Amino acid sequence: MSEGKRIGIVGATGAVGRELMELLEARDFPVAELRLLASARSVGKELTFRGESIAIKEARPEEFAGLDYLFLSAGGDRSLAMAPAAVEAGAVVIDNSSAFRMDDEVPLVVPEVNPEALLNHKGIIANPNCSTAITLMGVAPLHQRFGLKRMICSTYQAVSGAGATGITELEDGVRAWSEGKDANPSTFPHPIAFNLIPHVDKFLESGYTKEEVKMRNESRKILSLPSLPVSCTCVRVPVFRAHAISIFAEFEKPVDVAEARAAVAAFDGAELVDDPTNLEYPMPLGYSSKVACGVGRIRRDEALENGLAFWVVGDQLWKGAALNALQIAEHLVR
């Protein structure tokens, strides 16, 4: 790769920030300097990168000077507040929040799906919603082959989507159950252990959640299909960190299952796991800390014309967040 880059992470102590540090190291990203930034209450803590301790500083515009890339992963409000200053300071911002995703001036990118969108950025690049990025790793190869016409999704979303406290809340809930006590949820609106919560992100007046609307709007933007019909129901499930999505998709051209499988197998970042005879299909337990998203259960959809039904699984913290953000930076430094 190229010469070392000066990298900043806002939200370094969060679940996504920590995965990003791990991936920067594991994937040998050319880091000349790493600045870890967070809210005032994390100042004084230290985190280790490549064997060296780095003190966390408060995320303030002064800290952005000289940065090549700034990863923002501290929520939409902080992204809105900080991104312009970082761009002003000369950094390219890769933003993990929803703040800029639907901004016409901001590319929204899954590098395997629409890398061409990176050519025209103006300093800010948006990282998609986790469910959307993972869903599209299965949908995109089929869209390229058959032409996507309509998409219907039900998600099975891991607790890591709510950050580190989502993970501890599931652990605590299971512990409470084993001790015969009541769960005491604070991150999720209801107990998540041994339960399903059909509610991710805020409700809108339409009865949809923001998460469900993101799936529609972000899929349309990333696939350059601005009027694609998309329906989605998002559900939180008691799984730690890989999301799964049950997808029914209608295509322009006649579909063929063998061709669909070949298209998935050939797609960078997707992994075909589709051998029912040997009970092989992707599952969350196999997709924690994994780069590829798994695609399986591919079969002819019986209710849609030229339809395929399939199932996609991917690491919410990696392809759904930190990995995709880093892959954007990797594309830019190439």
The catalytic residue positions are 130, 243
Cβ atoms within 10 Å, residue 224: 12
Q: Which residue in 235, 262, 265, 291 binds a copy of itself (CB under 8 A)?
A: 235
Least distance to a copy of itself from the beta carbon of 136, Å? 16
Listing DSSP states for 62-106 in one string gives GGGTT-SEEEE-S-HHHHHHHHHHHHHTTPEEEE-SSSSTT-TTS
DSSP state of 110: -
To the question of whether residue 178 is assigned a binding role by annotation, the answer is no
Task: Provide, for the chain, the percentages of residues in helix, strand and coil under a 3-state DSSP scheme, each rounded to the nearest 5.
Answer: 35, 25, 40
Residue 1 binds a copy of itself (CB under 8 A): no
Classify strands 307-315 and 293-300 as parallel, antiparallel or unpaired: antiparallel
120 near a copy of itself, judged by CB under 8 A: no
**Closer CB to a copy of itself, 119 or 279, in the complex:** 279
How many CB atoms within 10 Å of residue 61?
A: 13
327 is in an annotated binding site: no
Which single residue is written with the structure tokens 């605590």?
A: 172
Does 229 bind a copy of itself (CB under 8 A)? Our answer is yes
CB proximity list for 213: less than 8 A, separation 6 or greater: 204, 206
Q: Does 144 bind a copy of itself (CB under 8 A)?
A: no
Told to check if 164 binds a copy of itself by CB under 8 A, we report no
Q: Taking phi first (over 0 means left), then psi (-120 to 50 degrees means alpha), and beta for anything else, what does residue 160 get?
A: alpha
Rank residues 38 and 183 by Cβ distance to a copy of itself and give the closer one.
183
Q: Is 16 annotated as a binding residue?
A: yes
The stretch among 41-49, 126-134, 309-317, 319-327 that binds a copy of itself (CB under 8 A) is 309-317
119 vs 258, which CB is nearer to a copy of itself? 258
Of 87 and 102, which CB lies nearer to a copy of itself in the complex structure?
A: 102
Contact 83, 72 (CB under 8 A): yes
- What span, in angstroms and rounded, lies between the C-alpha atoms of 122 and 86? 12
Phi-psi sector, 50: left (phi>0), alpha (psi -120 to 50), beta: left
**In the bound complex, what is the minimum distance in angstroms from residue 313's beta carbon to a copy of itself?**
8
175: β partners: none
Query: Is 42 among the annotated ligand-binding positions?
Result: yes
CB of 239 or CB of 264, closer to a copy of itself: 239
CB-nearer residue toward a copy of itself: 33 or 275: 275
Residue 242 β-bridge partners: 315
- Give me the 170-209 binding string for a copy of itself, x by CB under 8 A, dash otherwise: x---xx-xx----------xxx--xxxxxx---x--xxx-
Kindly state whether residue 69 participates in binding a copy of itself, applying the rule CB under 8 A: no
The stretch near a copy of itself (CB under 8 A) out of 14-22, 40-48, 279-287, 325-333 is 279-287
Residue 251 touching a copy of itself (CB under 8 A)? no
The reply to whether 300 sits near a copy of itself by the rule CB under 8 A is yes
Residues 6+ apart with CB under 8 A from 225: 143, 148, 219
Q: Is 261 annotated among the ligand-binding residues?
A: no
Q: How many other CB atoms are found less than 10 A from the CB of residue 252?
A: 12
Residues at the interface with a copy of itself (CB under 8 A): 150-152, 154, 156, 170, 174-175, 177-178, 189-191, 194-199, 203, 206-208, 216, 229-231, 233, 235, 237-240, 244, 246, 248, 257, 276-277, 279, 281-285, 296-304, 307, 309, 311, 313
Which residue positions form the known binding site? 13-16, 41-42, 101, 157, 160-161, 236, 316
